Structure 1
Amino acid sequence: MAQNVTPPRGMRDFLPAEKARREHALGLIRSVYAAHGFDEIETPVMEDSSRLHAGLGGDNEKLAFAVMKRGITADDLAAAAASGDALSLADLGLRYDLTVPLARFYATHRAALPPVFRSIQIAPVWRAERPQKGRYRQFVQCDIDIIGDATPLAELELLTATVATLDALGLTGCTIRLNDRRILAGILGSWGVPEALRERALITIDKLDKIGVAGVSAELVEIGAVSADAEVATALEGLTTADWHLASGVVPPPAWLDLEAYAELLALREAVPGATIEFDPTLVRGMGYYTGTIFEIAHPEFGYSLGGGGRYDGMIGRFLGNDVPACGFSIGFERIVDLLEIRDAERPRAVVLVHDADVPAERLLALKRELVASGSRVRLERRVKNFRALLDRVTADGFDAFANVTADTADASQLELRELGA
């Protein structure tokens, strides 16, 4: 019986052409981030389970893959199942984002880092998602973070670098939505949401694009955040349909609007020319660690964000005992890589040398070295009967030219390059 050889659900293999596309995009992202003064770091794929479940990751903590302790017995499994405490069997877990590991990294290496540390992390993360279009159990995140700067300059640097990266990728038509947790706190306060239920209420509001105004309103009543007779649905409808924009003033300002936070958002927009930036009072970002400004990348053709981030001044203090200001922005790599087209000018010449069986290996390797030295990518292929099938295959692999090599070919100057895919 044939075995199932597909990858685990929600995880993928990448053929050479797709891998090349991904690496090209990642290279562009890295180069722009580095040009804006960020330095790349690397953290382990696993962290202590207690750290991943410290109440910082919102609903994503529930999606963390746990790594079982060594020496667990069947009796241990049965006891954990009976008690409902499966996490007691795990001491490690796969990271579900790159922000919690960064906070731990900074706490570990603070003495060796500059007072204001600008980091790049580009790496896979894992979540036990229900696989669907655009959602995977293993996916790459592209994060930039600034630690140690409490001023709006941190947000400005992140926004500027992100806008430049989207431009370099050729991704046009994006809008950056802005909000602030202080503004959200004002909205919840105006609805009478108890302090103890505010984080849970924000998680519910974050579902607005999935379950709509009626669904959010009903869930807020269900969790006890608001009373059944509260006019939350009407208020939400007003928030979602109002022509919100970042202007010099909202006249008259709503009672819930934190004017200081709003003024800071206005200043951010004015300082990032060429970007489309809008204020959205319903923007939440579901992670529980955000403390101030939050932002998200939207595109009119897609019903989901292409990236996001915000300020999380309280997280690192969990590890150090004193708070350190921090802010980050992440590009949703998996959601944008399929939208990108690699322009021919950005790729090296890719040449296939199709050779007869009697061409000496030494000559083939000499020809290959000569072309590689000139900047080309080169592959050797032996001539086969079905020549058209060979050309179709190498074209699909990203090669754009071929040349025939015979026993009489002495050097690269005698090669006649012919275009593929024309």
Structure 2
Amino acid sequence: MRDFLPADKARRERVLAVIRERYRAHGFDEIETPVMEDYDRLHAGIGGDNEKLSFSILKRGMDADGIRAAADDPAALADLGLRYDLTVPLARFYATHRAQLPTVFRAIQIAPVWRAERPQKGRYRQFVQCDIDVIGDASARAEAELMTASLDVLDALGLEGGSIRVNDRRALDAMLDVFGFAPDERPGVLITIDKLDKVGPSGVVAELRGRGAGAAAVDAFAAYLARPAGSPSFDDDGIRAALPDGIPDEVITHLVDLGETVAAARGAEAPLVFDPFLVRGMGYYTGTIFELAHPSVDYSLGGGGRYDGMIGRFLGQQVPAVGFSIGFERLVDLLPDDAADGDRSVVLVHDRDVALPQLLALKAHLVAGGARVRVEQRAKNMKVLLERSAADGYTAFASVSADTTAETLELKPLA
């Protein structure tokens, strides 16, 4: 969990403003949910490994004896927890307020979440998630809207050239079935396949054998990995060529429709890449899954997928849903320090003898013109003062003496 100095905070808010503006332009509406959810909801088996990282909140009023008696039963110790993502709260929100929402609901959530991570570069115990979700639309249009809006965010931040890796959990399940992996070993097999980028085909095959997966299935998968394969095009022929025979036609058709819809929305070839080995670890994904990539980095800048089964757990009937989460912390770290900095911000450096009414009148004049203004008394070491102002995000300064007026005020850039 981190503190942010003024310049860092201002930079983060500028990026958030761009994200909000672009998402709203695509027809999404912002909501807000509490930072806490019921313990049972956060540990319902739909959050994957994130459930293990949940911060639980001790029941109020428990004394030391009660805590000792319940030490071996987490549910007896805690009835609430801090949210570890924004998807579980959204599902509960929709189930609660469905009657007041449109048939197809497009939601924005931008808020902090908490996980008991081991702190390291890029992993924090408190961080901001920026999510958009479409609830109530089972067609490829929903995924396409999420993708085009998120690619638009990258473009607006000056990160053109982004692409999206796409797969479908139904294709993965069918592929494992074709190779002959037993249903009970598939979760572990997917965990291993997810390491393909890190350990390579030989490492994945070795780990599968070490797991004790069916030998014939591993042999079939190893042969599939060893086949000659180029980069598949995102069309019917390309997707079929990247998959073994036996994948349901409706899955491939859904992916092809998605590519055509994104291409139409972008007015150019869809920046989508079919990746038959993309897994994404969340257990609640039921269909299309995707990750946002940019050529400047070798890690994803966001991702998501379809989770049609989650809302039904709260509502009692199935509702289609799909979501996309921008990796805000990674995005901020990737952008240059002056990214999205359009502020006109001025430091008024005044002599000691400048009358207060005169000084505040000059400040009010600049503020009325749309500037952000800080007032500083002239220091002996002006270099330090101006460097600190520049570090805080100010772009110009002006010297104010006893006879300075709004007409004679001269703004100079801060280097």
TM-score by length of 1: 0.90
Q: Sort the Cα spacing of 1:235 and 1:178 in 2 relative to 1 into closer, same or farther, 3 A.
A: farther
Deviations 1:228-275 (A, max 9, x none): 883266257348965333233157662243332123212222222344
Tell me the secondary structure at the aligned position of residue 288 of structure 1: coil
Aligned partner letter, 1:416: E
Pick aligned residue for 2:91 from 103, 123, 143: 103
Does 2:104 align with 1:113? no
Deviations 1:70-129 (A, max 9, x none): 233334444444x4x334311111111100000000001111111111000001111111
Q: Show the 5 A alignment for 1:197-276.
A: 197-221=185-209, 223-227=211-215, 230-231=218-219, 234-235=222-223, 237-238=225-226, 242-250=230-238, 254-273=244-263, 274=268, 275-276=270-271
Pick aligned residue for 1:295 from 290, 295, 311: 290
Pick aligned residue for 1:361 from 339, 356, 363: 356
Q: Kindly, what percent of the aligned residue pairs are identical?
A: 63
Superposed displacement of residue 67, structure 1:
1.1
Q: Sort the Cα spacing of 1:194 and 1:301 in 2 relative to 1 into closer, same or farther, 3 A.
A: same
What is the CA–CA distance in structure 2 between the aligned matches of 1:158 and 1:124, rounded to whole Å? 21
Aligned residue number for residue 399 of structure 2: 404
> Which ranges of structure 1 fall in alignment gaps of 5 or more residues?
1-10
Tell me the secondary structure at the aligned position of residue 347 of structure 2: strand
What is the CA–CA distance in structure 1 between the aligned matches of 2:74 and 2:340, rounded to whole Å? 53
Aligned residue number for residue 28 of structure 1: 18
Does 2:367 align with 1:372? yes
Deviates more, 1:224-233 or 1:29-38: 224-233
Superposed displacement of residue 206, structure 1:
2.6
Contact 1:240/1:282 (8 A) holds in 2: no
What is the CA–CA distance in structure 2 between the aligned matches of 1:349 and 1:383, rounded to whole Å? 21
Contact 1:248/1:266 (8 A) holds in 2: yes
What is the CA–CA distance in structure 1 between the aligned matches of 2:227 and 2:91, rounded to whole Å? 34
Does 2:142 align with 1:154? yes
Aligned partner letter, 1:171: L
Q: Sort the Cα spacing of 1:238 and 1:142 in 2 relative to 1 into closer, same or farther, 3 A.
A: farther
Does 2:50 align with 1:60? yes
Aligned residue number for residue 74 of structure 1: 64
What is the CA–CA distance in structure 2 between the aligned matches of 1:91 and 1:211, rounded to whole Å? 40
What is the CA–CA distance in structure 2 between the aligned matches of 1:161 and 1:390, rounded to whole Å? 41
Does 2:407 align with 1:413? yes
Contact 1:245/1:278 (8 A) holds in 2: yes
Deviations 1:309-359 (A, max 9, x none): 111111000001001111111110111112223668851211110011221
Does 2:254 align with 1:277? no
Aligned residue number for residue 44 of structure 1: 34
Q: Sort the Cα spacing of 1:277 and 1:87 in 2 relative to 1 into closer, same or farther, 3 A.
A: same
Contact 2:175/2:244 (8 A) holds in 1: no
What is the CA–CA distance in structure 1 between the aligned matches of 2:217 and 2:179, rounded to whole Å? 11
Contact 2:166/2:272 (8 A) holds in 1: yes
Aligned residue number for residue 184 of structure 2: 196
Aligned partner letter, 2:136: G
Superposed displacement of residue 175, structure 1:
1.8
Aligned residue number for residue 5 of structure 1: none
Aligned residue number for residue 171 of structure 1: 159
Deviations 1:35-54 (A, max 9, x none): 11100000011111110111
